[in-house]
Amino acid sequence: MTKSSNISQDRLNIDDAVVAFIDHQSGLFSLTRSHTPELLRNNVLALADTAKLFRMPVVLTTSFEQGPNGPVMPELGQRLQGAAYVPRPGQVNAFDNDDFVRALRQTGRRQLIVAGITTDVCVTLAVLSALKEGFQVFVVSDASGALSHEAHGVALMRMGIAGAQLMTWFSVVGELMQDWRRDVQGLTQLFAEHVIPYRDLIALNQSKPRL
């Protein structure tokens, strides 16, 4: 396999990244089978909390809400109050919607962190367009979902070959924070809410007697 010329080795830059949530809608969420509902919901909200923790701009978009796709996941909408919101009337590829592209451009940022439903359609089409437009794209695989494991995996391969970097929400946090001392309280709260084993580790550490 030849290496794509689109692939950038740049690390995520907290001052140059914007986060896009594409079509995390109630109807589409109910169709996903690539993750358990509990795991996918946790990961999506963890990414939203990560964006808030690091004060990154967010663009939230939905597609054809009046149809079976349904409204945005209520918990996500609550987390992202105040974020740029673009309800697309019907375009499958978010980059075919001028308002969505404008919202991204207005941030002035060139690194696009993206997650969505479904991975093989809504996410992939937007990612391929974003790469063509010159964005450095980071796909958060575990905050995205598809109708099957196969559909999810094939989509990730397609985006990776095209030049997108594949990440998890936890790796996004690690790359952005750079130093444990950046915001100890904020990071502790984020991990305690979204990583159960880490919550247990925090509790164990707090229970240890201090010498």
Query: What's the token pair of residue 104?
Result: 């991204």
Distance CA 166, CA 86 (A): 25
28 is known as an active-site residue: no
Q: Outline where the chain has alpha helix (H).
A: 26-29, 37-53, 74-79, 98-106, 124-132, 149-162, 169-177, 184-194, 196-207
Catalytic residue among 86, 122, 159, 177: 122
> Quick one: 149 exposed, middle or buried, by C-beta within 10 A (0-12, 13-18, 19+)?
exposed
Active site residue ranges: 122
